[in-house]
C-alpha cells in the first residue's frame, strides 16, 4: 500500500504527530489531491491545542484525524462519478461541504446549512502529501496564482465576504476593521481594492499593525494604549461626527464588539465575524442596534462560489496582493514550528504556510522572502 506523510492529531492533548498514512482512495464523487501548499487556520490551532471547543466539536472518538483545510494542490485521481474536476486540475478547497438538499442551499446560501460538514474537522484534512475531498467543493485555481497564495484563499474568502456583505455596496464608504489576525489583515487589503475610501484599523501587535498599513489601512489606533472612548472620538473625528458606514468586528472580544456598535453610524452595518470566547456576549441592544437602525451581518464561511470567483480574478490580475500577510513558510514536516508561531504571544506572525515538497518550499520561501 502506498503511504504518505501526514500531520495527525492522535491524542486529546496539545500537539500532533507526523505519521505515515495510506494515500486515500476517492469515493465515486470525490477526488484525491497532491498537496502543493497548505496553511494553518485558527481552527487548526484550536484542534492542535485540544481546547474545550475541539474536545466537544471533534471529540476523542474521532481521533486519530489528519488536521488542515486550507490548501492548494493538483488532482491526481478522480472518482468515477466526477464530471467537473479532472486529473491534473490545480484546485483549492471550499471548507464547507454543503448539502444541496438543505433549505439554505436551495435558497442560495450554500455556506450555512443544517447538514453542512467541514473539511479537516468532520473528517481527515489536508496537512499531508495527499488528501481526498468531494468534487462539489473543489475550486479550480488560475495557474498564475502561486500555491502559497492559492492555499490562503479560504480565509481570504472570509475577508472578502465580510467586507462586501450581501450587497457589495462599499465603494466610497468608510470602514472600521478590528483585529490583528490574518483575516483582519486580508480584509484591509480587500477593502482597499474594492474602493473603500477610508479604512480605520484597530490592532495591538506592532508587526500586524505594520502589515495592515502595507495592506492599505489609512488610520490606526493601538487598542492596548487607548480607551474605548478615545477610539470612538478618533472615529467620529475622521467621519464628520457620524461614525463609519461599516464596522467589521473580527476579534470577538467585548471591547471590539462595543467599539463596533458604538462606531457604526446610523443605518450602517456591523459585520460579526470574531468568535467570542464565551457567548452570550452583551451588546448595547437599544443604542447600538435598534435606535441606530443598523444591520448586523454574521459571517460563517464564504459565499459559495461568489467570493472564490472574485478572489481568483483579483489575485490572478495582480490587483490584490495578500503576500504581506504570509509571514512564514515551513516544510510540512516542520509543522510544530508553524504552530509555535501561531500560538506565540505577543503575536509575531500572521499567516503560516506549510509545503510538503522541498522544491515547492524553496520556491515559496523565495517569493515570500522568509
Ligand atoms: Zn480556515
Q: Are residues 197 and 99 in the same domain?
A: no
Is the predicted pLDDT of residue 314 greater than 90, yes or no? Answer: yes
Q: What mean pLDDT do residues 139-150 have?
A: 98
Q: Which residues surround ligand 1, an ion (CB under 5 A)?
A: 41, 70, 155
Provide the percentage of residues in the chain whose pLDDT is more than 70.
100
Distance between Cα 126 and ligand 1 center (Å) = 12
> What are the cell numbers at 335?
509543522
**Is the domain of 183 the same as that of 45?**
no
Is 80 a member of any domain? yes
- In a domain, residue 306? The reply is no
pLDDT, tens digit, 9 for 90 and up, residues 317-326: 999 999 999 9
Please report whether residue 303 resides in a domain.
no
Domain co-membership, 358 together with 331: yes
Distance from Cα 158 to the centre of ligand 1, integer Å: 9
Let me know if residue 164 belongs to a domain.
yes
**Ligand 1 midpoint to CA 184 (Å):** 13
- pLDDT for 370 beyond 70: no
Q: Are residues 148 and 192 in the same domain?
A: no
Same-domain check for residues 117 and 188: no
Give the distance (Å) from ligand 1 centre to CA of residue 217.
Answer: 23
CA 194 / ligand 1 centre spacing (Å): 22
Nearest to 226 by CA among 214, 217, 235: 235
SS3 label, residue 23:
coil
The pLDDT value given to residue 250: 98
Distance 159 CA to ligand 1 centre (A): 11
Same domain flag for 144 and 15: yes
The confidence score (pLDDT) of residue 369 equals 82
Residue 58 · residue 108 · CB < 8 Å? no
Do 197 and 218 have their domain in common? Answer: yes
Averaged pLDDT, 1-21: 97
Which phi and psi (to 5°) does residue 60 adopt?
-65, -25
Is residue 2 exposed (0-12), middle (13-18) or buried (19+ Cβ within 10 Å)? exposed
pLDDT at 1: 81
Q: What is the mean pLDDT of residues 45-57?
A: 94
**What is the CA(61)–ligand 1 centre distance, in A?**
23
| Residues 132, 35 share a domain | yes
| Arithmetic mean of pLDDT over the chain | 97
In this predicted structure, what is the pLDDT of residue 345? Answer: 95
**Count of domains forming the chain:** 2
Contacts 24+ apart (CB under 8 A), 311-319: 311/153, 311/156, 311/157, 311/160, 312/139, 312/141, 312/142, 312/145, 312/153, 314/190, 314/193, 315/142, 315/144, 315/145, 315/149, 315/150, 315/153, 316/142, 316/144, 316/145, 319/193
Catalytic residues: 43, 46
Query: Is there a domain that residue 242 lies in?
Result: yes
CATH of the domain at 363: 3.90.180.10
Task: Kindly state whether residues 212 and 289 are assigned to the same domain.
Answer: yes
Q: How far is the CA of 229 from the centre of ligand 1 (A)?
A: 33
Q: Do both 169 and 270 map to the same domain?
A: yes
Domain with 221 in it: 158-298
Q: Based on the domain organization, do 294 and 198 belong to the same domain?
A: yes
Q: Which long-range contacts (CB under 8 A, 24 or more apart) does 359-367 make?
A: 360/36, 360/37, 360/147, 361/329, 361/330, 361/331, 363/146, 364/37, 364/146, 364/147, 364/148, 364/329, 365/329, 367/146, 367/148, 367/323
- The tens digit of pLDDT for each residue in 167-217 reads 999 999 999 999 999 999 999 999 999 999 999 999 999 999 999 999 999
**308 in any annotated domain:** no
Q: What is the CATH number of the domain that holds 187?
A: 3.40.50.720
Tell me, yes or no, whether 50 lies in a domain.
yes
In a shared domain, residues 210 and 256: yes
Task: Say if 312 falls within a structural domain.
Answer: no
Amino acid at each position: 500500500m502506498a503511504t504518505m506523510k501526514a500531520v495527525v492529531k492522535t491524542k486529546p492533548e496539545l500537539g500532533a504527530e507526523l505519521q505515515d498514512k495510506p494515500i486515500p482512495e476517492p469515493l465515486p464523487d470525490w477526488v484525491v489531491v497532491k498537496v502543493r501548499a497548505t496553511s494553518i487556520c485558527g481552527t487548526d490551532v484550536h484542534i492542535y491545542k485540544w481546547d474545550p471547543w475541539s474536545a466537544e466539536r471533534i471529540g476523542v472518538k474521532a481521533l486519530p484525524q489528519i488536521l488542515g483545510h486550507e490548501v492548494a494542490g493538483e488532482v491526481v485521481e478522480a472518482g468515477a462519478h466526477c464530471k467537473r474536476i479532472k486529473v491534473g486540475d490545480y484546485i483549492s478547497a471550499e471548507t464547507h461541504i454543503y448539502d444541496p438538499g438543505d433549505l439554505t442551499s436551495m435558497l442560495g446560501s450554500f455556506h450555512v446549512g443544517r447538514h453542512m460538514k467541514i473539511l479537516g474537522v468532520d473528517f481527515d484534512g489536508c496537512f499531508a502529501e495527499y488528501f481526498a475531498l468531494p468534487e462539489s467543493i473543489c475550486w479550480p485555481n488560475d495557474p498564475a496564482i502561486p500555491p502559497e497564495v492559492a492555499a490562503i484563499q479560504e480565509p481570504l474568502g472570509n475577508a472578502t465576504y465580510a467586507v462586501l456583505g450581501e450587497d457589495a455596496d462599499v465603494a466610497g464608504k468608510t470602514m472600521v476593521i478590528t483585529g490583528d489576525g490574518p483575516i483582519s489583515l486580508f480584509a484591509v487589503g480587500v477593502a482597499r481594492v474594492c474602493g473603500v475610501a477610508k479604512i480605520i484599523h484597530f490592532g495591538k501587535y506592532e508587526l500586524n499593525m505594520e502589515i495592515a498599513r502595507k495592506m492599505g489601512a489609512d488610520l490606526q489606533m493601538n487598542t492596548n494604549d487607548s480607551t474605548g472612548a478615545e477610539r470612538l472620538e478618533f472615529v467620529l473625528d475622521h467621519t464628520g461626527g457620524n461614525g463609519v458606514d461599516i464596522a467589521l468586528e473580527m476579534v470577538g472580544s467585548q471591547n471590539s464588539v462595543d467599539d463596533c456598535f458604538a462606531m457604526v453610524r446610523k443605518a450602517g452595518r456591523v459585520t460579526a465575524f470574531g468568535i467570542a470566547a464565551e457567548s452570550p456576549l452583551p451588546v448595547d441592544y437599544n443604542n447600538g442596534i435598534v435606535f441606530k437602525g443598523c444591520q448586523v451581518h454574521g459571517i460563517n464561511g464564504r459565499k459559495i462560489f461568489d467570493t472564490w470567483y472574485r478572489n481568483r480574478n483579483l489575485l490572478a490580475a495582480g490587483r490584490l496582493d495578500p503576500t504581506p500577510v504570509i509571514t512564514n513558510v515551513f516544510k510540512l514536516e516542520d509543522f510544530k514550528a508553524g504552530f509555535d508561531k501561531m500560538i506565540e504571544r505577543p503575536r509575531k506572525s500572521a499567516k503560516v504556510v506549510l509545503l510538503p515538497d522541498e522544491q515547492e518550499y524553496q520556491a515559496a520561501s523565495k517569493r515570500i522572502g522568509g
